[in-house]
Amino acid sequence: MGGQGMAAQAGGRLWQTIGVQPGGRYLMYAKISVARGTVAWSLADSSKGMESRGASKPSQMSEIISDVVESRSGYLDIAFELTEGGGFRVIDVIVTPVDAFENSQHLSRCPVPQLIQRNPASR
Q: What's 18's domain CATH number?
A: 2.60.120.260
| pLDDT (0 to 100) of residue 113 | 45
If one counts every other C-beta atom within 10 angstroms of the C-beta of residue 1, the result is 15
Low-confidence ranges of the chain (pLDDT < 50): 106-120, 122-123
Assigned domain for 123 exists? no
What would the pLDDT profile of 48-82 be if each residue is shown by its tens digit? 889 999 999 898 789 999 999 999 999 999 999 99
- Contact, 40 vs 57, CB < 8 A? no
Q: Quick check: is 59 in a domain?
A: yes
Can you give the residue range of the structural domain that contains 75? 4-109
Q: What pLDDT was estimated at residue 7?
A: 79
Buried b (16+ CB within 10 A) or exposed e, 25-63: ebbbebebbbeebbbebbbbbbeeebebeeebeeeeebe
Determine, yes or no, domain membership for 116.
no
What angle (nearest 5°) sits at the alpha carbon of residue 101, between those of residues 103 and 22? Answer: 85
Residue 88 inside a domain? The answer is yes
Look at residue 39 and tell me if it is in a domain: yes
Q: How many domains does the chain have?
A: 1
From CA 71, how far away is CA 76, in angstroms rounded? Answer: 7
**Per-residue pLDDT at 41:** 94
pTM of the model: 0.76
Q: Is residue 120 part of a domain?
A: no
DSSP β-bridge partners for residue 27: 96
Classify residue 117: in a domain, yes or no: no
Residue 93: φ, ψ to 5°: -135, 130
Q: Looking at the domain assignment, is residue 115 inside a domain?
A: no
Q: Residue 2: its pLDDT value, please?
A: 60
How many other CB atoms are there within 10 angstroms of residue 91's CB atom? 16
pLDDT of residue 48: 83
